[in-house]
Structures are given as C-alpha cells and as structure tokens.
C-alpha cells in the first residue's frame, strides 16, 4: 500500500492512498491461534493484497498518522496509522476523524438525545460537546488501525 503525504494538522498527519499497484503479502494457510498452540505448518500457501483488504472505497479513503494520546485507552497510540473512509456514515460509538473549529481531532462519537459529543479515550482529556456554534464536520470513519508492536 503506497501512501503519499498530503497535509498535516496539529493532531494528525494525512496521506492519500494509491492503489494503482497490488501489494501482496504472504498469508499463512491456517489461522494463528491465540490460545493453545496448534501443529506448525512449514509453508505459506496463500497471499493477500493489503490494498483490497484494507481499502474498500479507494476514492474516499485516506491514511492518517496519530499524534497525541487522547485515544490510548482504545488502543490507538502515537504514530499508529489509521485507515479512514470518508464515504461511511457515522454511528454512535464509532471512532471518527472530526473537523471542529479549524482543527482535526480523533474521537469516539457519542450521540445523546439532541446532543453530540466527541469522546476521548483517556481520562486526562475532556469530552467535547458539539453545538450549533461550532464549525463541525465528521470527516471520516476509522476502519483499521495499523501499529508497530
């Protein structure tokens, strides 16, 4: 998966996706069990195209590199790469890239009666209540998180 750096904002760095080339990676033929070990297989017999696996809507998908710690309690950390799809509809409890009052932020969407909140996943940060006074847009929904272990 090739990505070209597009632009940066305080909390996120954005990249356009380029799926013009296939990126195939070897895939082990049987699942890797996270419980008890299974007999080892000595070969890899399949491949997977990461572009097709991670990017369902190429024209509306971009990558973003995370800066900051506001989402650490849901496993999103500094320098993780997000796959974000702008064509998806937001829903309660989804993780979204939002644009509010001139800034991009990554938060969980919380819908209550007639209120919308942007919820951090770190107790050191406060929720943001979105009102009609805010310049606000849900820019895209996070579909995958890519991280270095």
Q: Which domains are assigned to the chain? A: 2-21+54-146 (2.10.109.10)
Q: Does the annotation count 107 as an active-site position?
A: yes
- Mean pLDDT calculated for residue range 28-32: 57
Q: Which of 38, 107, 110, 114 is catalytic?
A: 107
**pTM, entire model:** 0.76
pLDDT (tens digit per residue) in 132-149: 999 999 999 999 999 988
Asked if residues 27 and 48 have their Cβ atoms less than 8 Å apart, the reply is: yes
Q: Does the annotation count 70 as an active-site position?
A: yes
Chain centroid to CA 120: how far? Answer: 15
3-class SS at 52?
helix
Q: Which of 2, 5, 38, 70 is catalytic?
A: 70
3-class SS at 17?
strand
Q: How far apart are CA 96 and CA 61, in angstroms?
A: 13
């Amino acid at each position: 998966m090739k990505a070209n750096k597009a632009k940066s904002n305080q909390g996120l760095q954005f990249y356009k996706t380029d799926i013009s080339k296939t990126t195939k990676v070897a895939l082990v033929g049987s699942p890797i069990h996270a419980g008890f070990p299974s007999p080892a297989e000595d070969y890899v017999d399949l491949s997977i195209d990461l572009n097709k696996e991670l990017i369902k809507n190429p024209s509306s998908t971009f990558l973003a590199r995370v800066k900051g710690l506001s989402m650490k309690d849901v496993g999103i950390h500094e320098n993780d790469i997000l796959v974000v799809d702008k064509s998806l509809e937001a829903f309660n409890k989804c993780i979204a890239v939002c644009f509010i009052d001139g800034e991009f932020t990554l938060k969980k969407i919380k819908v209550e009666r007639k209120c919308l909140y942007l919820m951090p996943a770190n107790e050191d940060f406060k929720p943001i209540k979105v009102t009609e006074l805010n310049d606000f847009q849900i820019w895209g929904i996070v579909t995958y998180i890519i991280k270095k272990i």
